Every structure is written in C-alpha cells, then in structure tokens.
C-alpha cells in the first residue's frame, strides 16, 4: 500500500504566509506496526493557524520540524492493524496523525499504566461523521467552550463580541454564547461572512471589519459596553474593543492572528489602561493544557448538539493534496467555518 505524505521542504521566512511552496508531496510504502504500535488510516485532518509555528525555524513554544519531516497535524483516523491490546481494528482514534494518509502510532503508557495522554486516544465512533471530532465536538469546540465558559464566564444576557467570528473557533464561540442565552456579535471580513454569521451561525449581529467603521458599529450595537470579548485576532481591533468594555468585563485571549507573524513587535495595546478603569480581566489560555477535560467538553457539546443548540459549520476540502492550501487559507480569510480536510471516507 502507498502512503502520500507532505514533508517540510523549506521554513517560511518570518513575514511569509505558509503554503504549498513549503512542502513536498512524497509517496512512501506503508510499513507494518511494531510492538505496541498501530497502523492508522487518516479519515480527516484539522487546520489551525498555530501549525505555522511548527514550520518556522525558531518557534517560541512549539518544537520545530526539520526539513524532510512529515508535517505535524491533528486528525481522526481508523485503526487498520493493532499490536496493542487496548486498540482493535476499526477503532477510531484522535491524535497527531500528521499530513499523511497512513501513520504508525506508538502507544505510550501513563503513570498508572493507562494509555499516555500524548498517544492517540480512542474516540466514540457512534458520533459521526468523524469530522465532528475535530470541529463542533472536537478541538474547535473545546477551544471555544473553555474560552467562553472558564475564561469568559459567559452567562445569560451578557453582550459578547467575537473576532474572526466566521472562523472555526469563532463560529463555535458564538454558538456557545447563544446556548448560554447571551447576545453574540461577530466581527468578520466581508459582507458574505457577516450574512453567514447571522443566517447560518445564529449570531445576533455582525460587523464587517474590512468595510465598516468597527468603533461606530460597536457603539451602536453595544451601547452599555462589552461584557466579554473573545479575541482571536489582537491588533487594532483589540484596542477598539478595550475602549468599549463594560464594568467587570473579561477579555478572552484565544488567538493573535493579526499580530503573531509580524516581523516587528506590534505597538499596542494602547488602551490596556481600560482594564484597570473597568475592573476588567484579560486572560490567555492554551487548550492543550486541558487535554484531560476533552471527554467532558465533548459530552457537554454533544448534549447541545442533540438539542440543536449548536451545529457543525464545517468548510471541508477533499484529498490529502489539499492540506497545504487549507492551512494557508486561514491567513487569507479563505475559510468560512471550521476548515477541515477529508482524507478518506468513514467506513
């Protein structure tokens, strides 16, 4: 059997968007799993702006890939061969499968002899399609849920503003805010994304930051201030929102896509003094720190999904060939919803 995989060809320079030019598509033979190993066929791969950090030469908090390494990426797969007693052929697993059709997964042992948290983990294959385990009931949902509940402390009646709202985490954050009966206002690039936010994702209002005056729109839509700002972007939009915080508000620092890859440090935020005047709190988080809570996050999201309070808003391309373009689309606003890649069909 053949295995198509994307290997790193060149590190993007500091100001370069990662794309297909940085990878080689290589055909390899599928190898047999060794002791305590599984052969896993990839079903679906996720994307995240954070993946760019794996490809650059000196990332700040990820381990860098070397030229020729298989590109790292989280996915859902099905076990094709198992040399580990806890996994059977046909089981679905989640983990770092990489940008490839097949992978060998070594199962490590945790402190109590259970499957180590860094190994692939079994997922419930009654929750279908498999894309749900990366999207609404997976990583996008987990990042949105933890940020909105634990960090943002959302509750009914609060005014919530979300940046990059038509992206994967953003559209889940808005749906979760609505499930809590809060008011959700999204900021996104372009009229089509804003219509989609209100008509498909259930937001109360949307602001097109590319064509509208964001400050004027927030003054109109949030006359009593903003209780929770769920920020995926940073930069100038953060400064505009800081000036409009309500008393006792929270700024949830989920992502920094507007500033993370600048070659020079950005000047702001100029209005961080508002955190003091408004007795507000700004807090960042990394969802991986909560990996042991993933099953509880999924159970909560699944209950909302069954009640039709949240829905999967996926933006899926088909074929392993499409993964580099899927990742680079995030930096160009080319996605609407949760950007995923279908690599092979669910059985």
Ligand X SMILES: NC(=O)c1ccc[n+]([C@@H]2O[C@H](COP(=O)([O-])OP(=O)(O)OC[C@H]3O[C@@H](n4cnc5c(N)ncnc54)[C@H](OP(=O)(O)O)[C@@H]3O)[C@@H](O)[C@H]2O)c1
Considering only residues 289-328, where is the footprint of ligand X by CB under 6 A? none
What is the closest distance, in whole angstroms, from the C-beta atom of residue 221 to ligand X in the complex?
17
Is 181 exposed, middle or buried (CB count within 10 Å of its CB: 0-12, 13-18, 19+)?
exposed
Q: Provide the mask over 268-287, with x wherever binding to ligand X is found by CB under 6 A and - wherever it is not.
A: -----------------xxx
| Closer residue to ligand X in complex, CB, 8/171 | 171
| List of residues 6+ apart from 42 with CB closer than 8 A | 75, 76, 77, 97, 100, 101, 102, 103, 320, 343, 344
168-179 helix and 294-306 helix, angle to the nearest 10 degrees: 70
Q: What is the DSSP letter of 337?
A: B
Considering only residues 168-227, where is the footprint of ligand X by CB under 6 A? 168-170, 188-189, 193
One residue of 271, 333, 344, 346 binding ligand X per CB under 6 A: 333
Q: Tokens 């999904």 belong to which residue?
A: 305
- Do 197 and 174 form a contact (C-beta atoms < 8 A)? yes
Q: What are the two backbone dihedrals, phi and then psi, of residue 92, each rounded to the nearest 5 degrees?
A: -95, 140
Q: Does 50 bind ligand X (CB under 6 A)?
A: yes
Q: Does 136 bind ligand X (CB under 6 A)?
A: no
Residue 93 CA to residue 316 CA, distance in Å, equals 20
| Closer residue to ligand X in complex, CB, 39/173 | 173
In degrees, to the nearest 5, what angle opens at C-alpha 123 toward C-alphas 286 and 43?
90
One residue of 41, 183, 339, 342 binding ligand X per CB under 6 A: 339
What is the closest distance, in whole angstroms, from the C-beta atom of residue 129 to ligand X in the complex?
19
Considering only residues 230-249, where is the footprint of ligand X by CB under 6 A? 232-233
Q: Does 49 bind ligand X (CB under 6 A)?
A: yes
| Closer residue to ligand X in complex, CB, 1/286 | 286
Q: What are the two backbone dihedrals, phi and then psi, of residue 277, each rounded to the nearest 5 degrees?
A: -60, -35
One residue of 257, 301, 310, 343 binding ligand X per CB under 6 A: 257
Residues that bind ligand X (CB under 6 A): 48-50, 140, 143, 164, 166-170, 188-189, 193, 232-233, 254-258, 285-287, 330-331, 333, 335, 339
């Amino acid at each position: 059997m053949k295995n198509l995989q994307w290997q790193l060809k060149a590190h993007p320079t500091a100001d370069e968007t990662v794309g297909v030019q940085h990878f080689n598509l290589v055909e390899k033979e599928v190898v047999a799993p060794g002791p305590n190993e599984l052969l896993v066929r990839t079903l679906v791969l996720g994307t995240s702006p954070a993946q760019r950090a794996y490809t650059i030469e000196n990332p700040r908090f990820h381990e860098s890939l070397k030229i020729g390494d298989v590109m790292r990426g989280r996915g859902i797969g099905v076990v094709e061969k198992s040399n580990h007693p806890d996994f059977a052929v046909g089981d679905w697993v989640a983990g770092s499968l990489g940008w490839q059709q097949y992978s060998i997964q070594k199962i490590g042992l945790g402190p109590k002899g259970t499957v180590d948290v860094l190994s692939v983990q079994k997922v419930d294959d009654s929750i279908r399609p498999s894309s749900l385990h990366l999207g609404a009931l997976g990583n996008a949902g987990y990042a949105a849920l933890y940020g909105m509940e634990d960090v943002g402390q959302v509750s009914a009646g609060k005014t919530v503003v979300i940046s990059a709202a038509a992206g994967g985490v953003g559209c889940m954050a808005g749906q979760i805010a609505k499930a809590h009966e809060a008011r959700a206002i999204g900021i996104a690039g372009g009229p089509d994304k804003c219509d989609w936010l209100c008509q498909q994702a259930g937001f109360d209002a949307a602001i097109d930051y590319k064509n509208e005056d964001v400050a004027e729109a927030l003054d109109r839509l949030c006359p009593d201030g903003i209780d929770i700002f769920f920020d995926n972007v940073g930069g100038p939009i953060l400064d505009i929102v800081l000036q409009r915080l309500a008393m006792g508000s929270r700024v949830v620092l989920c992502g920094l896509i507007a500033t993370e890859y600048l070659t020079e440090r950005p000047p702001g935020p100029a209005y961080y003094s508002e955190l003091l005047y408004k007795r507000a709190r700004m807090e960042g988080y990394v969802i991986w720190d909560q990996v042991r809570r993933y099953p509880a996050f999924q159970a909560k999201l699944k209950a909302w999904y069954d009640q039709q309070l949240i829905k999967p808003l996926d933006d899926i391309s088909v074929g392993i060939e499409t993964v580099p373009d899927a990742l680079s689309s995030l930096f160009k606003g080319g996605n609407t919803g949760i950007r995923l890649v279908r690599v092979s069909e669910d059985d």
